[in-house]
Amino acid sequence: MTTSSASNASAPTTILQPGTPAPDFSLRATPDQSLRLSELRGRPVVLVFYPADWSPVCSDELAIFNEALPLFRKKETQVLGISVDSVWSHQAFIKARGLHFDLLADFEPKGAVSRAYGAYDETVGSSRRALFLIDAEGQIAWSYLSPVAVNPGADGVLDALDAL
């Protein structure tokens, strides 16, 4: 399911749809460690694309995913946050917010992974607020594009995970 971004009518309103192979990527999780999506094959993965560390809606959204981690772990599902912020910003944000999942830096080339998933907003230079559930075989099982000012929460992706 997709919805258009209310904050930017000129931004594309489609993201990768269910049944599409999830584009592989390698992004920095820390200054000296990268994570490759294909390394997680064999279990579900949730990708949480969000505009920016430190913004109020993003902080709330990531806090909800942090609180829901036991539900995702029970289903052996990896949660990953992705934005165009640097690894240094991510590390400070993780520490300040007490997050217990990786935030990946889609920093350089800026937004390349967000673009691959249809979740990049060229006009503002950041990821849009999009969620993807990738199944154990590497296919997108569910996707959702939220208006940038709306926290979509975790219920939709948890329902989609239950349906796998």
Q: Known catalytic residues?
A: 58
3-state secondary structure string, the chain? CCCCCCCCCCCCCCCCCCCCECCCCEEEEECCEEEEHHHHCCCCEEEEECCCCCCHHHHHHHHHHHHCHHHHHHCCCEEEEEECCCHHHHHHHHHHHCCCCEEEECCCCCCHHHHHCCCEECCCCEECCEEEEECCCCEEEEEEECCCCCCCCCHHHHHHHHHC
